[in-house]
Amino acid sequence: MSLTTIDKKSDLIVAKLAENIIGSEIIKLAAEVNEKIKKGEKIYNLTIGDFNPKVFPIPAELKQAIINAYEDDQTNYPAADGMLELRQAVSKLLKERGDLDYKTDEIVIAGGARPVIYAIFRALVDADDTVLFPVPSWNNNHYTYLNFAKQIAIETTAENNFMPTAAELRPHIAVANLIALCSPLNPTGTTFRKKDLEEICDMILLENTKRNAEGKKPVYLMFDQIYWALTHGETKHYNPVSLRPEMKNYTVFVDGISKSLASTGVRVGWSMGPKKVIEKIKSILTHIGAWAPKAEQVATAVYLNNLENYDTYLIDIKAKINARLVGFYKGFQDLKSEGFKVDAIAPEAAIYLTVQFSLHGQKTADGKVLASTQDITKYILDEAKVALVPFSAFGASSNSTWYRLSVGTCKLEDVDGAIENLRSALKKLQK
């Protein structure tokens, strides 16, 4: 029997969940970008929601505290719900900077925001439950799939900066078991207005008044605020519990240092919420071992106990991020004023700018029609050497003209170069 025959007959069968899971569209695009870079092409890679540590290093004090913790042999298992000193530091941070009052037994530490989100879904969503979320948004569809749940995705609009409203969510509230929201929002870098978030909270509270009377499971809100410290200009971050204290019974937060301290690889995140829910999340994390490393937890506690250093770092990193976002925003507005079919939404928060390329139907210099968003994305990459992520990768419709531009790996001097490349590429298109 030949090896080829054996290979054909031994085609492995895996679980249905694994067989049908969809990989990250962003990672696929990044692979294509990296291949071009390997070949020597100069690419302005604005795809990944991460930081270049050479451009945005973690706080020096945090780095030294991590080194100190390892030198002190803090390398065994951490507490299942996180080191007490870290939960105390997080409680202090939330109260003094975040307008939130959570005790240490209402906080659980995990290895970044991803296991927090996964554990929240596992704790609150049963198979065939319904998860309601807006698009574009990050990975809610995948976490819903992993939980064997149903999804209702509401496509938001540029008119409201791609933030969902109570009016858009209300038709589905009666069947929802979990509402997943994020502000500041990945991928848009936009935020909730106070009135809009208040209306959503009131809608949830009214629905739960009905469910409580009927003895039914409430609708919970997962509120991802991992970018809350990175607001720009006059933008103010709002959260459900500060606006409506009654929401504390139904809100489970996603939070951590990954973005605010440019510490994506340090892997320290946390959730806070109702004590019973947090206890269940702790149990889930225990079984999957998704803890933050002990040394990093000890170090983060040391760092967060000095909020003056924390504030100083935020002032610096926000200024650097904002300079890049404003630079790109101005560049896109200049291109728009020159008659090119592009646009951008003014930056509000996070490391993202929402930009638009309304190029469907235009022709390239060799006569090829840009018939799809995929064609446009490829043209921008091939001709302008600028890599961006279309909103379709975040659940929006396949013909959406909007994109996420991430500045976390961008040097300030790259802004003008990327805009000039785009200008040159756009000039080559035929209307």
Kindly report, residue by residue over 130-152, the tens digit of the pLDDT: 999 999 999 999 999 999 999 99
Q: What is the CATH number of the domain that holds 346?
A: 3.90.1150.10
Whether residues 242 and 389 fall in one domain: no
Whether residues 96 and 148 fall in one domain: yes
Whether residues 282 and 156 fall in one domain: yes
Mean pLDDT of 309-329: 98
Looking at 252, 276, 306, which one is the last position of a domain? 306
Answer yes or no: is 22 within a domain: yes
Whether residues 327 and 283 fall in one domain: no
Neighbours of 130 (CB within 10 A): 18
- List Cα–Cα distances, 317 to 114, 331, 406, in angstroms: 23, 21, 15
Alpha carbon dihedral 282, 284, 285, 287, in 10-degree steps, equals 120
Mean pLDDT of 235-241: 98
205 and 247 in contact (C-beta within 8 Å)?
yes
Answer yes or no: is 172 within a domain: yes
Whether residues 12 and 124 fall in one domain: no
Query: How much is the pLDDT for 155?
Result: 97
Cβ contacts of residue 13 below 8 Å, gap of 6+? none
pLDDT reading at 90 higher than 50? yes
Per-residue pLDDT tens over the stretch 407-418: 999 999 999 999
The number of folded domains in the chain is 2
Q: What is the CATH number of the domain that holds 207?
A: 3.40.640.10
* Average pLDDT along the chain: 95
Looking at 281, 306, 331, which one is the last position of a domain? 306
pLDDT reading at 285 higher than 90? yes
Whether residues 264 and 140 fall in one domain: yes
Whether residues 343 and 411 fall in one domain: yes
Whether residues 215 and 88 fall in one domain: yes
Answer yes or no: is 431 within a domain: no
Rounded to an integer, what distance in angstroms lies between the CA atom of residue 235 and that of residue 348?
Answer: 6
Proportion of the chain above pLDDT 90, given as a percent: 91
pLDDT reading at 1 higher than 50? no
Per-residue pLDDT tens over the stretch 328-383: 999 999 999 999 999 999 999 999 999 999 999 999 999 999 999 999 999 999 99
Confidence band of 79 (pLDDT split at 50, 70, 90) = very high
Looking at 306, 336, 355, which one is the last position of a domain? 306
Task: Write out the residue range of the structural domain in which residue 366 sits.
Answer: 3-56+312-426
pLDDT reading at 5 higher than 70? no
pLDDT reading at 87 higher than 60? yes
Per-residue pLDDT tens over the stretch 186-228: 999 999 999 999 999 999 999 999 999 999 999 999 999 999 9
